[in-house]
Amino acid sequence: MWSPLHIVRLKGQTPGLRRHAAALLKWCRDANVSSFSHSAARSSKTCQALVYTNHGDPSKVLQLKNVDLPPIGEKDVLVKLLAAPINPSDINMIQGTYAILPDLPSIGGNEGVGKILDIGKQVKSLKAGDWVIPRDAGLGTWRTEAVLAEEDVISVPNDIPLLSAATLGVNPCTAFRMLSDFEDLMPGDSVIQNAANSGVGQAVIQIAAAKGINTINVVRDRPEFTQLSERLKAMGATHVIKEEALRRPEIKEVFKSCPKPKLALNGVGGRSATELLRHLQIGGSMVTYGGMSKQPVTVPVSALIFKDVKVRGFWVTQWKRDHSHDGSLFGAMLDELCSLIRQGKLTAPSCTQVALQDFHQALDASMQPFISSKQVLLL
């Protein structure tokens, strides 16, 4: 874990996280100090961190604080955090509405990249200078430095762009798994998705294009729709259409140049998801990974009876935990994604880089509608 602050008690924790959390709790109790006030005898360094002691509006409950770092254990590493994005799940976690919530007080951020500065005597898989990203969610990446257990991070190449590494662990992994695990997609096949301008949506476009798979990309209407459409097509999108076009006859023109989709990816819910279902092939799958509209998914009876569609869900955090016993699959996925990055076939989403002390500005921007740029904290 990103210790000492972020003691996360979550169902399905890896053994390493549970041991580390238990050790930190015991340390705090034995020392008779709060997790924010370790004595100088127990810690020789401090870092800056975005801390919240209660759930609520992130702009109101987050505070930038100086936090003591614990000593480096024999199986720990000291990491200098380099960059960490602000994702919707980060906001929801601080608001107290996410599926997993850490104990409070806590540090914000679930994703990011750091550089190892020092290692414990028994660390075998990592060395100083390596770049690492979290293996799991809920670790608190919005801080300048952290002491982590070796088993709670995984190395990534340090020859890829910083922003690509900082945004690698959530959205590209979500896109990769959804394109791989639900339908046997071959070159020439089609995928339809809403929220195509999201981080996941942009990753889907690029990974699919690299595999020769068509993408039909649905976005909400907006003043700059033409510019957005051109940008997504430059990434590899086959078609970019507005939400309302799904319900109009012109959608038939799309399927003159590519087959009906085998797979639909839903990050919105509500009516948008229902419309995706209507255009699936017989026996196709719709996978829901988000619900930005906050509306339920309604499945037409006809889609179930006459098209035998499959309605599934996906959460990358659960996938990582389900495969935590064997890191080879996670590592192989990261290797393939990083190969695409090196080839210029997978780029980070449009990002706005913001200094840590300007976090209020980044939070406000990340919560605006039709936001086209991901906010990334430079640490």
Catalytic residues: 98
Tokens at residue 244, please? Answer: 């309302």
195 and 173 Cβ atoms separated by less than 8 Å: no
List residues bridging with 191 in a β-sheet: 215, 263
DSSP summary character for residue 156: E
378 and 353 Cβ atoms separated by less than 8 Å: yes
Tokens at residue 344, please? Answer: 């210029």
List residues bridging with 115 in a β-sheet: 80, 131
At 332, phi and psi to the nearest 5? Answer: -65, -40
219 and 225 Cβ atoms separated by less than 8 Å: yes
At 62, phi and psi to the nearest 5? Answer: -80, 135
140 and 106 Cβ atoms separated by less than 8 Å: yes
d(CA 324, CA 143) in angstroms, rounded, equals 25
